[in-house]
Amino acid sequence: MKEYVLVGSGGRGYWMYASAIAERYNDVAHLAGIMDVNRKRAEYVESLIPYEVPVYTDFDKMMEEVRPDCAIVTTVDRFHSQYVVKALDLGVDVICEKPMTMDADSCNAILDAEERNGRRITVTFNCRYMPLFTRMKELLAQGVVGEVLNVHFEWMLDTVHGADYFRRWHRKLENCGGLLVHKSTHHFDIVNWLIGQEPAEVFANGALRFYGAAGEKRSERCCTCPHAGECEYVYQDSQVPWVKAMYYDCESEDGYYRDRCVFAEEIDIYDTMSLAVKYRQGALMSYSLVAHAPYEGWKISISGTKGRMEACEFDTGTQACDDCFHIKLFDRKGGTMTYDLKKETGSHGGGDERLLRMLFRGDLADPLGQFAGSKDGSMSILIGIAANKSIREHRPVTIEELVSFDRWKERKEAWE
Ligand SMILES: NC(=O)c1ccc[n+]([C@@H]2O[C@H](COP(=O)([O-])OP(=O)(O)OC[C@H]3O[C@@H](n4cnc5c(N)ncnc54)[C@H](O)[C@@H]3O)[C@@H](O)[C@H]2O)c1
Protein backbone atom coordinates (compact mmCIF):
# COMPACT_ATOMS: atom_id res chain seq x y z
CA MET A 1 0.00 0.00 0.00
CA LYS A 2 1.48 3.34 -1.03
CA GLU A 3 1.03 6.35 1.25
CA TYR A 4 0.06 9.66 -0.39
CA VAL A 5 -0.38 13.20 0.90
CA LEU A 6 -2.48 15.84 -0.82
CA VAL A 7 -1.06 19.38 -0.98
CA GLY A 8 -3.90 21.75 -1.88
CA SER A 9 -7.39 20.48 -1.14
CA GLY A 10 -9.42 22.43 -3.70
CA GLY A 11 -11.61 21.20 -6.53
CA ARG A 12 -8.95 19.30 -8.44
CA GLY A 13 -7.33 17.89 -5.33
CA TYR A 14 -10.56 16.33 -4.15
CA TRP A 15 -12.38 15.38 -7.36
CA MET A 16 -9.39 14.00 -9.24
CA TYR A 17 -7.15 12.54 -6.52
CA ALA A 18 -8.51 12.32 -2.96
CA SER A 19 -11.84 10.81 -4.03
CA ALA A 20 -10.13 8.38 -6.41
CA ILE A 21 -7.67 7.19 -3.74
CA ALA A 22 -10.43 6.78 -1.16
CA GLU A 23 -13.03 5.17 -3.39
CA ARG A 24 -11.56 3.40 -6.42
CA TYR A 25 -7.91 2.78 -5.61
CA ASN A 26 -8.16 2.04 -1.88
CA ASP A 27 -6.64 -1.41 -2.37
CA VAL A 28 -3.33 0.11 -3.53
CA ALA A 29 -3.30 3.68 -2.22
CA HIS A 30 -3.92 5.34 1.14
CA LEU A 31 -4.42 9.06 1.76
CA ALA A 32 -2.24 9.74 4.80
CA GLY A 33 -2.41 13.55 5.04
CA ILE A 34 -4.16 16.60 3.64
CA MET A 35 -2.46 20.00 3.67
CA ASP A 36 -3.93 23.36 2.67
CA VAL A 37 -3.38 26.91 3.89
CA ASN A 38 -7.16 27.01 4.33
CA ARG A 39 -7.86 24.66 7.25
CA LYS A 40 -11.62 24.72 6.75
CA ARG A 41 -11.29 23.58 3.15
CA ALA A 42 -8.89 20.81 4.12
CA GLU A 43 -11.28 19.70 6.89
CA TYR A 44 -14.20 19.71 4.44
CA VAL A 45 -12.28 17.46 2.05
CA GLU A 46 -11.26 15.24 4.97
CA SER A 47 -14.92 14.87 5.93
CA LEU A 48 -15.61 13.37 2.49
CA ILE A 49 -13.01 10.62 2.91
CA PRO A 50 -14.42 7.42 4.43
CA TYR A 51 -11.55 7.08 6.92
CA GLU A 52 -9.74 9.56 9.18
CA VAL A 53 -6.97 11.59 7.58
CA PRO A 54 -4.78 14.05 9.52
CA VAL A 55 -5.23 17.65 8.33
CA TYR A 56 -2.37 20.17 8.24
CA THR A 57 -1.75 23.78 7.36
CA ASP A 58 2.02 23.27 7.64
CA PHE A 59 3.66 21.23 4.87
CA ASP A 60 6.92 20.56 6.73
CA LYS A 61 5.05 19.26 9.79
CA MET A 62 2.95 16.96 7.61
CA MET A 63 5.97 15.53 5.82
CA GLU A 64 7.79 15.02 9.13
CA GLU A 65 4.85 13.25 10.79
CA VAL A 66 3.43 11.29 7.87
CA ARG A 67 6.58 10.41 5.89
CA PRO A 68 4.63 9.59 2.72
CA ASP A 69 5.84 7.75 -0.37
CA CYS A 70 4.44 10.41 -2.67
CA ALA A 71 3.13 13.99 -2.49
CA ILE A 72 0.31 15.03 -4.82
CA VAL A 73 0.60 18.77 -5.52
CA THR A 74 -2.70 20.43 -6.46
CA THR A 75 -2.30 23.94 -5.06
CA VAL A 76 -2.47 27.28 -6.82
CA ASP A 77 0.16 27.17 -9.61
CA ARG A 78 2.54 29.73 -8.13
CA PHE A 79 3.11 27.47 -5.11
CA HIS A 80 3.69 24.19 -6.98
CA SER A 81 7.46 24.54 -7.17
CA GLN A 82 8.09 25.20 -3.48
CA TYR A 83 6.30 21.99 -2.48
CA VAL A 84 7.72 19.95 -5.36
CA VAL A 85 11.29 20.95 -4.50
CA LYS A 86 10.83 20.34 -0.76
CA ALA A 87 9.26 16.93 -1.36
CA LEU A 88 12.03 15.87 -3.77
CA ASP A 89 14.65 17.07 -1.27
CA LEU A 90 13.01 14.86 1.35
CA GLY A 91 13.40 11.91 -1.02
CA VAL A 92 9.67 11.77 -1.80
CA ASP A 93 8.27 11.27 -5.31
CA VAL A 94 5.83 13.86 -6.60
CA ILE A 95 2.69 13.82 -8.69
CA CYS A 96 2.20 17.42 -9.83
CA GLU A 97 -0.81 18.91 -11.51
CA LYS A 98 -0.27 20.97 -14.61
CA PRO A 99 1.30 23.45 -15.05
CA MET A 100 4.43 21.97 -13.43
CA THR A 101 5.29 25.53 -12.46
CA MET A 102 4.90 29.01 -13.95
CA ASP A 103 8.28 30.63 -14.52
CA ALA A 104 11.79 29.74 -15.71
CA ASP A 105 13.54 30.10 -12.32
CA SER A 106 11.22 27.70 -10.55
CA CYS A 107 11.34 25.31 -13.52
CA ASN A 108 15.13 25.19 -13.21
CA ALA A 109 14.80 24.75 -9.43
CA ILE A 110 12.53 21.71 -9.92
CA LEU A 111 14.87 20.17 -12.49
CA ASP A 112 17.84 20.76 -10.17
CA ALA A 113 16.03 19.15 -7.24
CA GLU A 114 15.08 16.13 -9.32
CA GLU A 115 18.63 15.74 -10.53
CA ARG A 116 20.06 16.16 -7.01
CA ASN A 117 17.77 13.58 -5.48
CA GLY A 118 17.13 11.03 -8.21
CA ARG A 119 13.41 11.11 -7.33
CA ARG A 120 10.65 11.16 -9.90
CA ILE A 121 8.15 13.89 -10.67
CA THR A 122 5.11 12.93 -12.73
CA VAL A 123 3.17 15.73 -14.40
CA THR A 124 -0.44 14.78 -14.92
CA PHE A 125 -1.20 15.62 -18.53
CA ASN A 126 -4.63 14.02 -18.66
CA CYS A 127 -5.31 15.29 -22.22
CA ARG A 128 -2.75 12.77 -23.52
CA TYR A 129 -5.20 10.08 -22.38
CA MET A 130 -8.17 11.52 -24.27
CA PRO A 131 -9.09 8.87 -26.87
CA LEU A 132 -8.97 11.30 -29.80
CA PHE A 133 -5.44 12.50 -29.05
CA THR A 134 -4.35 8.94 -28.26
CA ARG A 135 -5.55 7.76 -31.69
CA MET A 136 -3.86 10.70 -33.40
CA LYS A 137 -0.61 9.83 -31.67
CA GLU A 138 -0.89 6.19 -32.81
CA LEU A 139 -1.42 7.30 -36.40
CA LEU A 140 1.40 9.85 -36.33
CA ALA A 141 3.73 7.25 -34.81
CA GLN A 142 2.91 5.02 -37.81
CA GLY A 143 4.20 7.85 -40.03
CA VAL A 144 0.93 8.66 -41.79
CA VAL A 145 1.93 12.28 -42.46
CA GLY A 146 5.68 11.64 -42.68
CA GLU A 147 8.00 14.14 -41.08
CA VAL A 148 5.93 16.89 -39.45
CA LEU A 149 6.55 20.31 -40.99
CA ASN A 150 3.68 22.42 -39.69
CA VAL A 151 0.98 22.49 -37.01
CA HIS A 152 -1.98 24.82 -36.87
CA PHE A 153 -3.83 24.63 -33.55
CA GLU A 154 -6.67 26.80 -32.29
CA TRP A 155 -8.42 26.41 -28.96
CA MET A 156 -11.68 28.07 -27.98
CA LEU A 157 -12.96 28.51 -24.41
CA ASP A 158 -16.55 29.66 -24.19
CA THR A 159 -17.88 32.33 -21.85
CA VAL A 160 -18.83 29.77 -19.19
CA HIS A 161 -15.52 27.90 -19.00
CA GLY A 162 -13.35 30.79 -20.23
CA ALA A 163 -14.91 33.35 -17.89
CA ASP A 164 -14.17 31.15 -14.88
CA TYR A 165 -10.45 31.87 -15.16
CA PHE A 166 -11.20 35.56 -14.67
CA ARG A 167 -13.07 35.00 -11.38
CA ARG A 168 -10.39 33.36 -9.28
CA TRP A 169 -6.63 33.39 -8.68
CA HIS A 170 -6.01 32.59 -12.36
CA ARG A 171 -6.88 36.23 -13.17
CA LYS A 172 -3.42 37.42 -12.08
CA LEU A 173 -0.28 36.64 -14.07
CA GLU A 174 1.68 36.33 -10.82
CA ASN A 175 -0.46 33.37 -9.73
CA CYS A 176 -0.34 31.19 -12.82
CA GLY A 177 1.50 32.86 -15.70
CA GLY A 178 -1.85 33.59 -17.35
CA LEU A 179 -3.69 31.24 -19.68
CA LEU A 180 -0.60 30.78 -21.88
CA VAL A 181 0.98 28.85 -19.02
CA HIS A 182 -1.97 27.71 -16.91
CA LYS A 183 -4.21 26.50 -19.73
CA SER A 184 -2.03 26.23 -22.82
CA THR A 185 0.42 23.90 -21.05
CA HIS A 186 -2.13 21.18 -21.94
CA HIS A 187 -2.20 22.23 -25.59
CA PHE A 188 1.55 22.70 -25.98
CA ASP A 189 2.16 19.35 -24.31
CA ILE A 190 -0.25 17.67 -26.72
CA VAL A 191 1.58 19.11 -29.73
CA ASN A 192 5.07 18.41 -28.33
CA TRP A 193 4.05 14.81 -27.63
CA LEU A 194 2.12 14.24 -30.87
CA ILE A 195 4.93 15.43 -33.14
CA GLY A 196 7.83 14.31 -30.92
CA GLN A 197 9.71 17.59 -31.29
CA GLU A 198 11.10 20.18 -28.85
CA PRO A 199 10.21 23.87 -28.93
CA ALA A 200 13.03 26.29 -29.76
CA GLU A 201 11.64 29.80 -30.27
CA VAL A 202 8.39 31.66 -29.62
CA PHE A 203 6.94 34.91 -30.86
CA ALA A 204 3.64 35.95 -29.30
CA ASN A 205 0.93 38.55 -29.03
CA GLY A 206 -1.60 38.78 -26.24
CA ALA A 207 -4.48 41.12 -25.41
CA LEU A 208 -7.10 41.64 -22.72
CA ARG A 209 -10.04 43.12 -24.59
CA PHE A 210 -13.09 41.18 -23.42
CA TYR A 211 -12.85 40.75 -19.63
CA GLY A 212 -11.21 42.97 -17.02
CA ALA A 213 -11.34 46.70 -17.60
CA ALA A 214 -13.03 46.07 -20.98
CA GLY A 215 -16.37 45.50 -19.20
CA GLU A 216 -18.79 48.37 -18.69
CA LYS A 217 -20.10 47.50 -15.24
CA ARG A 218 -18.41 45.79 -12.37
CA SER A 219 -18.67 44.92 -8.72
CA GLU A 220 -16.52 42.98 -6.27
CA ARG A 221 -18.32 39.64 -6.62
CA CYS A 222 -21.43 38.10 -8.11
CA CYS A 223 -23.30 37.27 -4.90
CA THR A 224 -23.44 40.92 -3.80
CA CYS A 225 -23.45 42.53 -7.25
CA PRO A 226 -26.21 45.05 -8.07
CA HIS A 227 -25.91 44.09 -11.77
CA ALA A 228 -26.16 40.32 -11.20
CA GLY A 229 -29.70 40.09 -12.61
CA GLU A 230 -28.64 41.49 -15.97
CA CYS A 231 -25.09 40.09 -16.21
CA GLU A 232 -24.46 37.29 -18.70
CA TYR A 233 -21.36 36.25 -16.76
CA VAL A 234 -22.86 35.87 -13.30
CA TYR A 235 -21.46 32.80 -11.50
CA GLN A 236 -24.12 30.09 -11.70
CA ASP A 237 -22.90 27.44 -9.26
CA SER A 238 -22.94 29.25 -5.92
CA GLN A 239 -25.73 27.04 -4.56
CA VAL A 240 -24.23 23.72 -5.67
CA PRO A 241 -23.71 22.04 -2.26
CA TRP A 242 -20.04 21.04 -2.71
CA VAL A 243 -19.15 24.45 -4.18
CA LYS A 244 -20.78 26.18 -1.23
CA ALA A 245 -19.03 23.91 1.27
CA MET A 246 -15.62 24.02 -0.42
CA TYR A 247 -15.45 27.74 -1.21
CA TYR A 248 -18.20 29.98 0.23
CA ASP A 249 -18.19 28.36 3.68
CA CYS A 250 -14.39 28.65 3.89
CA GLU A 251 -14.05 32.34 2.94
CA SER A 252 -13.47 33.47 6.53
CA GLU A 253 -10.06 31.74 6.50
CA ASP A 254 -8.43 33.46 3.53
CA GLY A 255 -10.88 35.71 1.66
CA TYR A 256 -10.80 33.42 -1.40
CA TYR A 257 -13.98 34.37 -3.28
CA ARG A 258 -15.08 31.86 -5.92
CA ASP A 259 -17.25 34.44 -7.71
CA ARG A 260 -15.14 37.56 -8.20
CA CYS A 261 -16.21 39.91 -10.99
CA VAL A 262 -14.82 39.01 -14.42
CA PHE A 263 -14.66 42.73 -15.20
CA ALA A 264 -12.41 43.67 -12.26
CA GLU A 265 -9.76 46.20 -13.15
CA GLU A 266 -7.05 44.19 -11.36
CA ILE A 267 -7.23 41.41 -13.96
CA ASP A 268 -3.96 41.33 -15.91
CA ILE A 269 -4.03 38.04 -17.87
CA TYR A 270 -4.78 37.94 -21.60
CA ASP A 271 -8.06 36.68 -23.01
CA THR A 272 -6.89 36.62 -26.65
CA MET A 273 -3.54 35.08 -27.60
CA SER A 274 -1.67 34.22 -30.75
CA LEU A 275 1.72 32.49 -31.13
CA ALA A 276 4.27 31.46 -33.73
CA VAL A 277 6.49 28.62 -32.46
CA LYS A 278 9.59 27.15 -34.12
CA TYR A 279 10.66 23.64 -33.10
CA ARG A 280 14.30 22.49 -32.82
CA GLN A 281 13.66 19.66 -35.27
CA GLY A 282 12.18 22.11 -37.78
CA ALA A 283 8.38 22.12 -37.43
CA LEU A 284 6.52 25.41 -37.23
CA MET A 285 3.35 25.91 -35.20
CA SER A 286 0.76 28.66 -35.23
CA TYR A 287 -1.45 28.58 -32.14
CA SER A 288 -4.28 30.69 -30.83
CA LEU A 289 -6.37 30.69 -27.68
CA VAL A 290 -9.47 32.76 -27.01
CA ALA A 291 -11.34 32.72 -23.69
CA HIS A 292 -14.55 34.34 -24.94
CA ALA A 293 -15.74 32.11 -27.80
CA PRO A 294 -19.43 31.35 -28.43
CA TYR A 295 -18.63 27.63 -28.07
CA GLU A 296 -15.99 25.29 -26.63
CA GLY A 297 -13.66 23.34 -28.83
CA TRP A 298 -10.44 22.99 -30.74
CA LYS A 299 -9.22 22.38 -34.24
CA ILE A 300 -5.82 21.03 -35.31
CA SER A 301 -4.11 20.33 -38.58
CA ILE A 302 -0.72 18.63 -38.84
CA SER A 303 1.06 18.78 -42.20
CA GLY A 304 4.03 16.62 -43.07
CA THR A 305 6.14 15.37 -45.94
CA LYS A 306 3.60 12.66 -46.83
CA GLY A 307 0.26 14.34 -46.09
CA ARG A 308 -1.94 16.10 -43.63
CA MET A 309 -4.03 15.16 -40.60
CA GLU A 310 -7.03 17.17 -39.41
CA ALA A 311 -9.15 16.74 -36.30
CA CYS A 312 -11.45 18.83 -34.18
CA GLU A 313 -13.79 18.73 -31.22
CA PHE A 314 -16.71 21.12 -30.71
CA ASP A 315 -19.64 21.13 -28.34
CA THR A 316 -21.94 22.78 -30.84
CA GLY A 317 -23.80 22.17 -34.12
CA THR A 318 -23.63 18.85 -35.95
CA GLN A 319 -20.58 17.69 -34.05
CA ALA A 320 -22.42 17.84 -30.74
CA CYS A 321 -25.05 15.40 -32.13
CA ASP A 322 -22.49 13.09 -33.73
CA ASP A 323 -21.54 10.13 -31.52
CA CYS A 324 -18.12 9.88 -33.19
CA PHE A 325 -15.03 12.03 -33.62
CA HIS A 326 -13.38 11.96 -37.03
CA ILE A 327 -9.69 12.13 -37.86
CA LYS A 328 -9.13 13.01 -41.52
CA LEU A 329 -6.01 12.11 -43.46
CA PHE A 330 -5.09 13.58 -46.83
CA ASP A 331 -2.27 12.08 -48.90
CA ARG A 332 -0.32 13.65 -51.77
CA LYS A 333 -2.20 11.70 -54.47
CA GLY A 334 -5.64 13.12 -53.72
CA GLY A 335 -6.57 10.27 -51.40
CA THR A 336 -8.44 10.87 -48.16
CA MET A 337 -9.23 8.60 -45.29
CA THR A 338 -11.42 9.20 -42.23
CA TYR A 339 -11.00 7.39 -38.93
CA ASP A 340 -14.17 7.41 -36.82
CA LEU A 341 -13.76 7.22 -33.09
CA LYS A 342 -16.68 6.65 -30.74
CA LYS A 343 -17.04 9.44 -28.16
CA GLU A 344 -16.49 8.24 -24.61
CA THR A 345 -18.04 9.53 -21.42
CA GLY A 346 -16.15 10.54 -18.28
CA SER A 347 -13.95 13.49 -17.46
CA HIS A 348 -11.76 14.42 -20.49
CA GLY A 349 -13.35 11.59 -22.50
CA GLY A 350 -12.36 9.03 -19.88
CA GLY A 351 -8.77 10.32 -19.98
CA ASP A 352 -8.70 11.23 -16.29
CA GLU A 353 -9.56 7.69 -15.23
CA ARG A 354 -6.93 6.14 -17.52
CA LEU A 355 -4.34 8.50 -16.05
CA LEU A 356 -5.38 7.64 -12.48
CA ARG A 357 -4.99 3.95 -13.24
CA MET A 358 -1.50 4.59 -14.58
CA LEU A 359 -0.65 6.63 -11.47
CA PHE A 360 -2.03 4.40 -8.75
CA ARG A 361 -2.17 0.89 -10.22
CA GLY A 362 0.52 1.19 -12.88
CA ASP A 363 -0.82 -1.89 -14.65
CA LEU A 364 -1.25 -0.43 -18.14
CA ALA A 365 1.44 -0.64 -20.80
CA ASP A 366 2.65 2.71 -22.14
CA PRO A 367 3.64 2.14 -25.77
CA LEU A 368 2.86 5.75 -26.73
CA GLY A 369 4.82 7.33 -23.88
CA GLN A 370 1.76 8.96 -22.32
CA PHE A 371 3.19 9.02 -18.81
CA ALA A 372 4.78 12.46 -18.55
CA GLY A 373 7.74 13.60 -16.48
CA SER A 374 9.61 16.81 -15.77
CA LYS A 375 10.98 17.22 -19.28
CA ASP A 376 7.45 17.18 -20.73
CA GLY A 377 6.27 19.40 -17.88
CA SER A 378 9.07 21.86 -18.68
CA MET A 379 8.76 21.88 -22.48
CA SER A 380 5.06 22.67 -22.37
CA ILE A 381 5.25 25.51 -19.84
CA LEU A 382 8.36 26.95 -21.45
CA ILE A 383 6.41 27.77 -24.62
CA GLY A 384 3.95 29.76 -22.49
CA ILE A 385 6.67 31.37 -20.37
CA ALA A 386 8.57 32.34 -23.54
CA ALA A 387 5.32 33.68 -25.00
CA ASN A 388 4.71 35.90 -21.97
CA LYS A 389 8.27 37.24 -22.26
CA SER A 390 7.81 37.75 -25.99
CA ILE A 391 4.64 39.76 -25.40
CA ARG A 392 6.36 41.88 -22.75
CA GLU A 393 9.54 42.49 -24.74
CA HIS A 394 8.10 42.49 -28.30
CA ARG A 395 10.66 40.03 -29.63
CA PRO A 396 11.11 36.32 -30.37
CA VAL A 397 12.25 34.45 -27.25
CA THR A 398 14.26 31.24 -27.35
CA ILE A 399 13.63 28.36 -24.95
CA GLU A 400 17.39 28.13 -24.44
CA GLU A 401 17.27 31.58 -22.78
CA LEU A 402 15.04 30.07 -20.11
CA VAL A 403 16.30 26.52 -19.56
CA SER A 404 19.42 25.05 -21.12
CA PHE A 405 18.86 22.00 -23.32
CA ASP A 406 22.26 20.74 -22.10
CA ARG A 407 20.68 19.55 -18.89
CA TRP A 408 18.76 16.97 -20.91
CA LYS A 409 21.80 16.03 -22.97
CA GLU A 410 23.90 15.46 -19.86
CA ARG A 411 21.32 13.60 -17.79
CA LYS A 412 19.26 12.13 -20.61
CA GLU A 413 18.52 8.87 -18.85
CA ALA A 414 16.86 10.65 -15.89
CA TRP A 415 14.07 11.99 -18.06
CA GLU A 416 13.51 9.06 -20.43
N1 LIG B 1 -5.46 18.75 -15.37
C2 LIG B 1 -6.62 19.39 -15.31
O3 LIG B 1 -7.49 19.18 -16.15
C4 LIG B 1 -6.86 20.36 -14.17
C5 LIG B 1 -8.15 20.81 -13.90
C6 LIG B 1 -8.34 21.71 -12.85
C7 LIG B 1 -7.25 22.12 -12.11
N8 LIG B 1 -6.02 21.67 -12.39
C9 LIG B 1 -4.85 22.14 -11.59
O10 LIG B 1 -5.05 21.82 -10.23
C11 LIG B 1 -4.52 22.85 -9.39
C12 LIG B 1 -5.60 23.31 -8.43
O13 LIG B 1 -6.67 23.86 -9.17
P14 LIG B 1 -8.15 23.93 -8.53
O15 LIG B 1 -9.08 24.20 -9.63
O16 LIG B 1 -8.37 22.78 -7.64
O17 LIG B 1 -8.03 25.26 -7.66
P18 LIG B 1 -8.72 25.57 -6.24
O19 LIG B 1 -8.65 27.03 -6.08
O20 LIG B 1 -10.02 24.88 -6.16
O21 LIG B 1 -7.75 24.86 -5.21
C22 LIG B 1 -6.48 25.36 -4.89
C23 LIG B 1 -6.22 25.05 -3.43
O24 LIG B 1 -4.89 25.45 -3.11
C25 LIG B 1 -4.94 26.04 -1.82
N26 LIG B 1 -3.76 26.89 -1.63
C27 LIG B 1 -3.60 28.20 -1.98
N28 LIG B 1 -2.38 28.60 -1.63
C29 LIG B 1 -1.75 27.55 -1.06
C30 LIG B 1 -0.47 27.35 -0.50
N31 LIG B 1 0.45 28.31 -0.48
N32 LIG B 1 -0.19 26.14 0.03
C33 LIG B 1 -1.10 25.13 0.01
N34 LIG B 1 -2.32 25.26 -0.51
C35 LIG B 1 -2.64 26.45 -1.04
C36 LIG B 1 -6.25 26.79 -1.79
O37 LIG B 1 -6.66 27.08 -0.47
C38 LIG B 1 -7.17 25.81 -2.48
O39 LIG B 1 -7.73 24.90 -1.58
C40 LIG B 1 -4.01 23.95 -10.32
O41 LIG B 1 -2.62 23.85 -10.46
C42 LIG B 1 -4.69 23.66 -11.64
O43 LIG B 1 -3.91 24.01 -12.76
C44 LIG B 1 -5.80 20.79 -13.39
Q: Is the CB of 352 under 6 A from ligand 1?
A: no
Among 77, 101, 126, the domain-final residue is 126
Whether residue 13 is found in the same domain as residue 84: yes
Q: What is the spatial distance between Cα 168 and Cα 397, in angstroms, rounded to a whole number?
A: 29
- pTM beyond 0.85: the answer is yes
| Residue 195 belongs to a domain | yes
Whether residue 117 is found in the same domain as residue 241: no
Q: Is the CB of 75 under 6 A from ligand 1?
A: yes
Say what the pLDDT of residue 384 is: 98
Q: Is the CB of 81 under 6 A from ligand 1?
A: no
Whether residue 188 is found in the same domain as residue 227: no
| Residue 261 belongs to a domain | no
Q: pLDDT digit string (tens) for 327-350?
A: 999 999 999 999 999 888 888 888
The structural domain count of the chain equals 3
Instruction: Please count the other Cβ atoms lying within 10 Å of the Cβ belonging to residue 143.
Output: 11
Q: pLDDT digit string (tens) for 373-415?
A: 999 999 999 999 999 999 999 999 999 999 999 988 866 544 4
Instruction: Give 119's pLDDT tier (boundaries 50, 70, 90).
Output: very high
143 alpha carbon – ligand 1 mean position (Å)? 38
3 alpha carbon – ligand 1 mean position (Å)? 21
177 alpha carbon – ligand 1 mean position (Å)? 14
Structural domain that includes position 28: 2-126
Q: Which of 83, 95, 97 to mutate to test the pocket of ligand 1 (most atoms within 8 A of CB)?
A: 97
Ligand 1 atom at minimum distance from 98 CA: 43
Q: What is the spatial distance between Cα 396 and Cα 276, in angstroms, rounded to a whole number?
A: 9
Q: pLDDT digit string (tens) for 168-207?
A: 999 999 999 999 999 999 999 999 999 999 999 999 999 9
